[in-house]
A and B are shown apart, each in its own frame.
Chain A
Amino acid sequence: MINLIYNEQLKLLRKKRLYVIMVMIFILVSLFTYAQYKQTNELIEKMGHVNWRVQLQQKIVDTQNRLNSTNIPNDFKQTLKIQVSQQQYYLDHNIDPAAPGAPTFMRIFIENAISLLLPLLVLVIASDLVSSEYSNGTIKLLLTRPVKRWKILMSKYFALLLSISLILFCMALFSYLISGLIFGYNGWSLPMITGFKADGNTLNTTGAYTIPLWKYVVIEYGLAWFVGVVVGALTLLLSVLIRSTAAVMGIMLASLIAGAILVNMVSSWHSAKYLFMLNLQLTHYIHGTNPPITGMTLGFSLIVLLIWLVISIIFSFAIFTKQDVY
């Protein structure tokens, strides 16, 4: 088994795809850091100084003004209302939710990457794990070895898990190192508030508690990892089913992008909450943002994703072990 996994790792690294992903993450993080830096500078210019409390209060007032505008859709209004009460809560407890620093940047980066960027990178790895063996014809060499088929697929799963972990590691490392150059490397112990419950119009703060930022970041990366695993497993299932890398890519891309679009407009279509792509923004629950459909919670999303994960694993093993190879 170890040898099989080693073999898969060798193939992955030979394909240089992991390096490409690392370079991509590096460039993206640099871009985001620069953008953030520009934004802070502009804020300083506009507001005169950088007292976060003044800024946050200003943000609250700005949002309240937007709320008063009549042409905002109702569900967006709810999101804004939740946002205002959350910001007010932070302000009342004298905690800066966006204190500048590399750890805060890491947090913001993963919150933005979890629903699209991270799944895309996972997709790049997972989409041809199986299908490329077919298109290259190497599947026959692999399957004629005296190894059980499920073991081969299992080794591919492990290699995928390792790659996803590596991608997240690179995201964390690069965003820490690069943004730290500008924002400083401190701030791991800053308090963050979590445990908000956003239901409909109001923000329930009774269960709220503070945790240090480092723990907050670890939790968010953990959730991102889970999202990566689910997307990876689904892609692998498609890769087993379809055998064409381009088609796998196309289907997964379409569903991910559809998810990103749907999130903004499904508030009244309740059964959509069982789609995996609407449950990818797990960090929102930690953060306390209004969910796309009322009634969705962290536990709900995790269970939905888990069901998709289990089903795709069962199907991919069942199909891969029975499939005719020619």
Chain B
Amino acid sequence: MNKKIILIFTSISILSAFICFLGLFWAVFDKHDTIQSNKRVDHVNSEEKKNSSNTVHIVALGDSLTRGIGDDKGKGYVGDLKDMLIKKSKKKIQVTNHAIGGQTSSELLKQLKQPEVRRQLRQADIILISTGANDLFQGGAALDHLNMSYFNSIEKRYLVNAKHVYSTLRSLNSHATVFHIGLYNPFIDLEQSKLTSKMVSKWNVDNANLTRDYKKMIYVPTFDLFQLNVNDYLYSDKFHPNTKGYQLIAERVVSLIVFHEEGK
């Protein structure tokens, strides 16, 4: 009895030792040089398209605003928007947020080249973007270069990128509605607010004019939301919105979405 158990244990151990040694051998000596992609994409894609009629796919791109930095709940306007839509609509809402804090428009262009991001954009019903704030403000550094000529050069560069972003989005997906969240002036309470407000408004107008060239593309103004009592809606970094501020943005976008759905 005892002898049998020992023999069983020992033989299992020996077997296992051999397998492990084989693994160790492979780890050291085995070399391949081929890499093959898994080609199941098309199959999966068609599967997803079938379920998509019942769900609204929302893809969010952009900077810290879309990421929701400053919101105590961590949701941002995208999260608030989702909650509001769930209440309003019977459809399933599915949100993917690809926003990266601090992203500039040129970095967004780079992100738009990633195949998975492109795949999801193709399936999206609603696309939310926020970009430009980091181009313009550079995290507050712009306050050191407050002059119109510097502003014009930045804006010119940005508008080229923005145009590129829009045309990429449209070429990927022509049916989704695109909401570009506009800029507000976080420095409206500081010195030289006249100049900063002038810059932000000009930026918004020029950007909104650009979106008019594309169908179903809406530039959502936020400037007025933060014009009065700006400090009530800003987070303690005095740059990002706080929970209340995000709520305001979400409400504005939601009203546009519902209007759009009824219009269909």
Contact = CB atoms under 8 A, between A and B. Distances in A.
B23 A209 contact: no
A296 to B, nearest CB: 15
Contacts of B33: 207, 209
A68 B96 CA distance: 19
Q: Chain B at the A interface: mostly helix, strand, loop or mixed?
A: helix
A219 B32 CA distance: 14
B32 A211 contact: yes
B142 interface: no
Contacts of B30: 211, 219
Contacts of B116: 53-54, 56-57, 91
B154 interface: no
A316 interface: no
Contacts of A211: 30, 32
Given A91-B116, A168-B20, A222 B48 contact: no
Interface stretch (A31-39, A92-100, A178-186, A240-248): A92-100
B53 interface: no
Interface string B9-53: 110111111011111111110101111111111001000100000
A256 B120 CA distance: 45
Contacts of B38: 93-95, 191
B221 interface: no
A108 interface: no
Contacts of A210: 32, 34-36
A169 B12 contact: yes
A94 B37 contact: yes
Interface in B86-126: 92-94, 96-102, 114-117, 119-120
Nearest to A222: B23
A93 B35 contact: yes
Contact of A221 (B9, B19, B94): B19
Interface string B174-217: 00000000000000000000000000000000000000000000
A9 B100 contact: no
Given A165-B14, A168-B20, A68 B40 contact: no
Interface residues of A, number: 57
A6 interface: yes
B5 interface: yes
Contact of A165 (B13, B28, B32, B67): B13
Contact of A218 (B19, B92, B101): B19
Chain B's interface size range is 35 or more
A166 B12 contact: yes
B229 interface: no
Given A48-B92, A93-B37, A209-B35, A65 B24 contact: no
A56 to B, nearest CB: 7
B35 A193 contact: yes
B91 to A, nearest CB: 12
Contact of B6 (A13, A163, A169): A13
A51 B34 contact: no
Given A13-B5, A162-B14, A165-B17, A220 B35 contact: no
B23 A220 contact: yes
A145 interface: no
B10 A9 contact: yes
Q: Give the one of B13, B22, B28, B97 with max A CB within 10 A.
A: B13
Given A57-B98, A94-B41, A162-B10, 5 more contacts: A51-B44, A207-B33, A209-B34, A215-B26, A222-B22
21 contacts: A9-B6, A13-B2, A18-B9, A48-B93, A48-B94, A53-B116, A58-B98, A61-B97, A61-B100, A65-B99, A68-B101, A92-B115, A93-B35, A95-B37, A169-B12, A210-B32, A210-B36, A218-B23, A218-B26, A219-B27, A298-B27
